[in-house]
């Protein structure tokens, strides 16, 4: 049978673009790709990249006090969201252009359209065009969820945060995952009054308990109002009386500034006002903006997958095997649409493994073991391998941990603390997990991840000479276990 394409990719994010251009460029396959929004996907356009730039922007304010402690006479002016947003948008435009040129350079035929799977070998575009393909790769990513409560549309989600016409003066963030915590720190650093509700007992569920506890302490110390065991119960537009009450309470640090009265909340429709919120603990408060960071869902709705025979989980994730193949042999899926490990580098690896398997004749299962990751809170957390809790349930372990004030902050009189932690198997002596809470933890964990992936033992760490004076030297100088279990 003759096909229009050897491969048709649905989705122009990092995973889909990588698979498309490698298949076309390395193997000469005829490849088409459809993207209904912007090329680069969540990570480049509305995720990792703009978020990290906002992280950078948010860290400058405390540097002034630290610089003064080191003898510099300096002052910091006001942060201009308008100036920053303009540069941010220009950078995202540049990066999208890079992705488009990479596809063009590899010979991939691009379609700026929405694609729907019609059957095992056919896709239909929103332009009305229909194409056949020997293989179809679904790389449609995910989207932020809103909670199922009345008036949830009054709040924003992570896709909206980069497009606010102005920064809110006062924001409520709902959620305790990494997105909620990262943006709580970012907005706090940019001068926004931040309150964060999380229904659980501690933020960052699934991460090491000791590490997430330290981050919660540091977030609270920085001025974030972190309210655990708390969720949103009701929300609606605030009345004039409630807005007036919030303004009058401003001197107590609880209210909106006078200029917010009667204005639209950032990111909401013109003419709209601030939002009144009642929490599950009975507190009532008025906020400029409510930001929902309450999870993400796979982008698999209404694109014809189930009709074509592709199995979806209850959450809408595409069910695939170790080679990213669906129940329909000609259809594959990678990235957040499969809800396996929702990280951009993982989607790229999955795309590469797909090309190796399907176009290079080298069956390559995706390796999801021992993936390093970082949470860009302030301080950052870097992690790879098992948490102490996971390892303890698996086998007898030793825990090597230390917490201390880093030299730079200590000299400046700042209360910041960092933590280094190794989880070690008593039987094999392998390092099962490494967890770092510190400035630059993301950079550190990338290198530690190499050692853990290679199966390094605690004695391998011990034999490594420390780089002094650095924070990271503590990873190789912890000689005695803190505890065993």
The parent domain of residue 456 ranges over 373-484
Tell me, yes or no, whether 367 lies in a domain: no
d(CA 280, CA 235): 11
Same domain, 316 and 287: no
Same domain, 448 and 427: yes
Sign for the pseudo-dihedral over CA of 53, 54, 59, 61 = positive
Tell me, yes or no, whether 368 lies in a domain: no
Phi, psi dihedral angles at 40 (to 5 degrees):
115, -25
Tell me, yes or no, whether 208 lies in a domain: yes
d(CA 277, CA 286): 6
What is the CATH number for 104?
A: 3.50.50.60
Same domain, 180 and 284: yes
Q: Which of 340, 356, 302 is nearest to 10 (CA)?
A: 302
Chosen domain end from 292, 319, 343? 292
Same domain, 270 and 162: yes
Chosen domain end from 292, 314, 344? 292
Residue 304: predicted pLDDT: 98
Tell me, yes or no, whether 364 lies in a domain: no
The H or E element that residue 277 is part of is strand 275-279
Q: If 0-12 CB within 10 Å is exposed, 13-18 middle and 19+ buried, where does residue 424 land? A: buried
User: Which sequence positions are flagged as catalytic?
Assistant: 468
Tell me, yes or no, whether 442 lies in a domain: yes
Same domain, 240 and 321: no
CB-based contacts of 214, cutoff 8 Å, min separation 6? 403, 417, 419, 437
Same domain, 274 and 380: no
Tell me, yes or no, whether 22 lies in a domain: yes
Please give the tally of structural domains in the chain: 3
Please provide the size of the chain in residues.
485
Same domain, 321 and 421: no
Q: 210-217: which pairs have CB atoms within 8 A and are 24 or more residues apart?
A: 210/388, 210/401, 210/419, 210/421, 210/435, 211/381, 211/383, 211/419, 211/421, 211/435, 211/436, 211/437, 212/381, 214/403, 214/417, 214/419, 214/437, 215/181, 215/375, 215/377, 215/379, 215/381, 215/437, 217/417
Same domain, 182 and 283: yes
Residue 248: predicted pLDDT: 65
Residue 255: predicted pLDDT: 46
CB neighbours of residue 85 within 10 Å: 18
Between the CA atoms of 146, 149, 150 and 152, what dihedral angle is there, to the nearest 10 degrees? -20
Tell me, yes or no, whether 365 lies in a domain: no
472 to each of 35, 96, 290, 476, how far by Cα in Å? 42, 35, 38, 8
CB-based contacts of 104, cutoff 8 Å, min separation 6? 110
Per residue of the chain (485 residues), give pLDDT as tens. Answer: 899 999 999 999 999 999 999 999 999 999 999 999 999 999 999 999 999 999 999 999 999 999 999 999 989 899 999 999 999 999 999 999 999 999 999 999 999 999 999 999 999 999 999 999 999 999 999 999 999 999 999 999 999 999 999 999 999 999 999 999 999 999 999 999 999 999 999 999 999 999 999 999 999 999 999 999 999 999 999 999 898 887 666 555 444 444 443 333 334 443 357 999 999 999 999 999 999 999 999 999 999 999 999 999 999 999 999 999 999 999 999 999 999 999 999 999 999 999 999 999 999 999 999 999 999 999 999 999 999 999 999 999 999 999 999 999 999 999 999 999 999 999 999 999 999 999 999 999 999 999 999 999 999 999 999 999 999 999 999 999 999 99
Same domain, 134 and 161: no
Same domain, 326 and 248: no
Tell me, yes or no, whether 281 lies in a domain: yes
What is the CATH number for 385?
A: 3.30.390.30
Same domain, 137 and 167: no
d(CA 420, CA 440): 12
Q: Report the chain's terminal Cα–Cα distance, integer Å.
A: 61
Same domain, 60 and 166: no
The H or E element that residue 425 is part of is strand 418-425
Q: Which of 395, 467, 468, 482 is nearest to 435 (CA)?
A: 482
d(CA 257, CA 243): 10
């Amino acid at each position: 049978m003759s096909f229009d394409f050897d491969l048709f990719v649905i989705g122009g994010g990092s995973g889909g673009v990588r698979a498309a251009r490698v298949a076309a460029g390395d193997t000469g396959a005829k490849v088409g790709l459809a993207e209904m929004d912007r090329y680069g996907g969540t990570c480049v356009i509305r995720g990792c990249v703009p978020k990290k730039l906002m992280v950078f922007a948010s860290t400058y304010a405390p540097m002034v006090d630290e610089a003064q402690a080191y003898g510099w006479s300096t002052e910091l002016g006001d942060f201009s969201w308008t100036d920053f947003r303009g540069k941010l948008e220009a950078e995202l435009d540049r990066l999208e252009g890079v992705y488009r040129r990479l596809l063009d350079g590899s010979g991939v035929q691009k379609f700026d359209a929405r694609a729907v799977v019609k059957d095992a070998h056919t896709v239909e575009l929103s332009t009305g065009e229909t194409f056949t393909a020997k293989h179809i790769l679904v790389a449609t990513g995910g989207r932020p969820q809103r909670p199922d409560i009345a008036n949830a549309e009054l709040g924003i989600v992570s896709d909206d945060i980069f497009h606010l016409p102005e920064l809110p003066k006062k924001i409520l963030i709902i959620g305790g995952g990494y997105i909620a915590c990262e943006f709580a720190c970012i907005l706090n650093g940019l001068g926004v009054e931040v309150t964060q509700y999380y229904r659980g007992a501690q933020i960052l569920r699934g991460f090491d308990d000791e590490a997430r506890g330290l981050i919660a302490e540091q977030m609270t110390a920085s001025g974030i109002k972190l309210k655990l065991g708390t969720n949103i119960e009701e929300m609606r537009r605030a009345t004039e009386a409630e807005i007036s009450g919030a303004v009058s309470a401003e001197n107590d640090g609880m209210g909106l500034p006078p200029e917010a009265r009667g204005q639209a909340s950032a990111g909401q429709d013109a003419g709209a006002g601030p939002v009144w919120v009642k929490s599950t603990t009975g507190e009532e408060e008025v906020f400029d903006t409510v930001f929902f960071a309450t999870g993400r869902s796979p982008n698999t709705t209404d694109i014809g997958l189930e009709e074509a025979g592709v199995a979806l989980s209850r959450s809408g994730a595409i069910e695939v095997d170790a080679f990213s193949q669906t129940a329909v042999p000609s259809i594959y899926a990678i990235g957040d649409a499969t809800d396996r490990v929702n990280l951009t580098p993982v989607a790229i690896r999955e795309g590469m493994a797909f090309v190796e398997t399907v176009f290079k004749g080298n069956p390559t299962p995706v390796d999801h073991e021992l993936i390093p990751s970082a949470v860009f809170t302030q301080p950052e957390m870097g992690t790879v391998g098992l948490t102490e809790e996971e390892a303890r349930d698996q086998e007898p372990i030793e825990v090597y941990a230390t917490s201390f004030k880093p030299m730079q902050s200590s000299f400046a009189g700042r209360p910041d603390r960092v933590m280094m932690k190794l989880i070690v198997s008593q039987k094999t002596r392998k390092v099962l997990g490494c967890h770092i809470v510190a400035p630059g933890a993301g950079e550190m964990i990338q290198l530690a991840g190499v050692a853990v992936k290679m199966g390094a033992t605690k004695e391998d760490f011990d034999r490594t000479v420390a780089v002094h004076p650095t924070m990271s030297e503590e990873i190789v100088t912890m000689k005695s276990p803190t505890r065993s279990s």
